[in-house]
């Protein structure tokens, strides 16, 4: 029997997909399941973006494109960065990849190897740790704490850097907590990183357009002193409700760009041409679709947090970004994963247990509020009934 290489025994999973599969299975058996598990907007991609893709196909954009992405899209990305973040970026620094996931894989492959250490947020997007382990590097979790508003702490991050550290991964606004790291903390982190010039930085800002109550999103791109070692990640999945299109983009410093381009040539060749044209329509087109989505998310955010705080033993902070609530469930007496599983099997509500996002996720659940207000209200009622019947 052929044997696959050992690295695959270290690769992990994103449990949200397993929960989705189980929820779908239960639904196929006739059960009524509300899915607050999966992290994707429940909106359709805006019509003008879909039309741009159809037009691109009709216009004959069927072939390979440059591995880094077509120039008009890279230029549109630069305009978006200038508009939103007030930062000038050259199209020659931009890479278009099939999703933020592929971007982070490229970055982690570039710095992960046995003997290396990579810092990542915990709780955090589970793929960071999985990919770090795949490379043979040592994953070093940076605790993301509720008492710190689920922001990352500069001091704690810096204290974990040593001579083996090759890459630090940051994520704000954050999955799974909805935390947004304030400027003062980022200032302190960037200042501290000056003492570690050999450490690269991956800033995952896929939720950068998704903050509430006027909370500013502070981008790592706006710090010129780290630009020569910063990989900045964004994409269309969340902002434009385009998860299935597979379109991510990133800004790379000159020293890493050629390696990223070669990885693209050796793996996916390019993002499909019609999707890239749709990306131009998304970035250059009217942005009211984003505002409309954010207004809906904001109303649901308030509904879900208020509802969670009314449940016995549950306490939930108001998330400042993304579309996740991360309630503390310790006072219910439940561990997070058994509670998530019982809620799915017995109450028909799919949520994710905090430990699926790292060891510091115990005691929490993640609820994605990318669902209708009716669905959220029903889910909260079911959760309340379940918790009351169990105590």
99 binds ligand PLP (CB under 6 A): yes
The only residue of 243, 287, 377, 378 in contact with ligand PLP, by rule CB under 6 A: 243
DSSP state string for 153-218: PHHHHHHT--TTEEEEEEESS-TTT-----HHHHHHHHHHHTT-TT-EEEEE-TTTT-B-TTPPPP
The only residue of 37, 123, 178, 235 in contact with ligand PLP, by rule CB under 6 A: 235
Query: At a CB cut-off of 8 Å and minimum separation 6, what does 324 contact?
Result: 39, 175, 176, 177, 178, 366, 367, 368, 369
100 binds ligand PLP (CB under 6 A): yes
Nearest to 15 by CA among 126, 105, 128: 126
Residue 203 φ/ψ, nearest 5 degrees: -105, 110
- Provide the minimum distance between the beta carbon of 184 and ligand PLP in the complex, in angstroms, as a whole number: 22
Is the separation of the CB atoms in 220 and 189 below 8 Å?
A: no
The only residue of 89, 206, 210, 278 in contact with ligand PLP, by rule CB under 6 A: 206
- Bridge partners of 235, per DSSP, are 248
Sign of CA dihedral 71, 72, 76, 79: positive
Nearer to ligand PLP among residue 99 and residue 327 (C-beta): 99
Residue 49 φ/ψ, nearest 5 degrees: -75, -45
Is the separation of the CB atoms in 11 and 108 below 8 Å?
A: no
- Provide the minimum distance between the beta carbon of 102 and ligand PLP in the complex, in angstroms, as a whole number: 7
The only residue of 45, 65, 157, 175 in contact with ligand PLP, by rule CB under 6 A: 175
From 73-81, 94-102, 141-149, 325-333, give the range in contact with ligand PLP by CB under 6 A. Answer: 94-102
380 binds ligand PLP (CB under 6 A): no
Which residue's Cβ lies closest to ligand PLP? 99
- Bridge partners of 169, per DSSP, are 202
46 binds ligand PLP (CB under 6 A): no
The only residue of 172, 237, 276, 368 in contact with ligand PLP, by rule CB under 6 A: 237
- Provide the minimum distance between the beta carbon of 173 and ligand PLP in the complex, in angstroms, as a whole number: 9
Nearer to ligand PLP among residue 281 and residue 380 (C-beta): 281
Is the separation of the CB atoms in 357 and 176 below 8 Å?
A: yes
Using CB under 6 A as the criterion, what x/- string covers residues 108-147 for binding ligand PLP? -----------------x----------------------
The only residue of 46, 52, 68, 101 in contact with ligand PLP, by rule CB under 6 A: 101
Nearer to ligand PLP among residue 237 and residue 275 (C-beta): 237
From 97-105, 181-189, 280-288, 308-316, give the range in contact with ligand PLP by CB under 6 A. Answer: 97-105
182-217 core/surface letters (b: 16 or more CB in 10 A; e: else): eeebbeebbeebeebeebbbbbbbbbbbbbbeeeeb
- Provide the minimum distance between the beta carbon of 299 and ligand PLP in the complex, in angstroms, as a whole number: 22
The span from the CA of 297 to the CA of 320, in Å, is: 11
From 83-91, 95-103, 143-151, 190-198, give the range in contact with ligand PLP by CB under 6 A. Answer: 95-103
Nearer to ligand PLP among residue 241 and residue 347 (C-beta): 241
For the chain, helix (H) and strand (E) counts, in that order, are 12, 12
From 98-106, 185-193, 215-223, 357-365, give the range in contact with ligand PLP by CB under 6 A. Answer: 98-106
Nearer to ligand PLP among residue 243 and residue 378 (C-beta): 243
In Å, what is the CA distance from 254 to each residue of 160, 178, 227? 27, 32, 10
Three-state secondary structure call for residue 366: strand
User: Which residues bind to ligand PLP, rule: CB under 6 A?
Assistant: 39, 99-101, 125, 171, 175, 204, 206, 235, 237, 243, 248
């Amino acid at each position: 029997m052929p044997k696959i290489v050992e690295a695959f025994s270290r690769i992990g999973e994103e449990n949200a997909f397993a929960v989705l599969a189980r929820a779908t299975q239960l639904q196929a058996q006739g059960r009524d399941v509300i899915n607050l598990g999966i992290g994707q907007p429940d909106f359709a991609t805006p019509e003008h973006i879909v039309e741009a893709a159809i037009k691109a196909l009709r216009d004959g954009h069927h072939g390979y494109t440059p591995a880094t992405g077509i120039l008009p899209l890279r230029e549109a990305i630069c305009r978006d960065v200038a508009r939103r973040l007030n930062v000038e970026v050259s199209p020659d620094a931009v890479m278009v990849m099939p999703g933020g996931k592929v971007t982070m894989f490229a970055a982690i492959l570039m710095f992960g190897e046995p003997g290396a250490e990579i810092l990542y947020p915990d709780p955090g997007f589970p793929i960071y740790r999985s990919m770090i382990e795949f490379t043979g590097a040592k994953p070093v979790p940076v605790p993301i704490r509720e008492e710190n508003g689920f922001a990352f702490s500069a001091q704690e991050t810096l204290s974990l850097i040593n001579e083996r550290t090759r890459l630090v991964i940051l994520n704000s606004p954050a999955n799974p907590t909805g935390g947004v790291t304030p400027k003062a903390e980022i200032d302190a982190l960037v200042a501290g990183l000056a003492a570690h010039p050999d450490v690269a930085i991956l800033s995952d800002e896929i939720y950068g357009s998704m903050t509430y109550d006027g909370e500013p999103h502070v981008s790592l791109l706006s710090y010129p002193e780290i630009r020569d070692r910063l990989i900045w990640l964004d994409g269309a999945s969340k902002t434009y409700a385009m998860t299935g299109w597979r379109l991510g983009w990133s800004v790379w410093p000159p020293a890493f760009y050629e390696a990223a381009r070669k990885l693209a040539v050796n793996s996916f060749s390019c993002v499909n041409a019609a999707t890239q044209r749709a990306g131009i329509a998304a970035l250059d087109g009217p942005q009211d679709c984003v505002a409309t989505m954010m207004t809906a998310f904001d109303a649901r955010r308030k509904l879900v947090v208020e509802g969670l705080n009314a449940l016995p033993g549950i306490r939930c902070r108001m998330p400042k970004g993304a579309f996740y609530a991360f309630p503390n469930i310790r006072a219910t007496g439940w561990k997070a994963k058994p509670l998530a599983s019982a809620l799915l099997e017995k109450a028909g509500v799919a949520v994710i247990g905090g430990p699926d996002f790292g060891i510091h996720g115990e005691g929490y659940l993640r609820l994605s509020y990318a669902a209708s207000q009716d669905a959220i209200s029903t889910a909260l009622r079911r959760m309340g009934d379940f918790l009351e019947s169990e105590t």
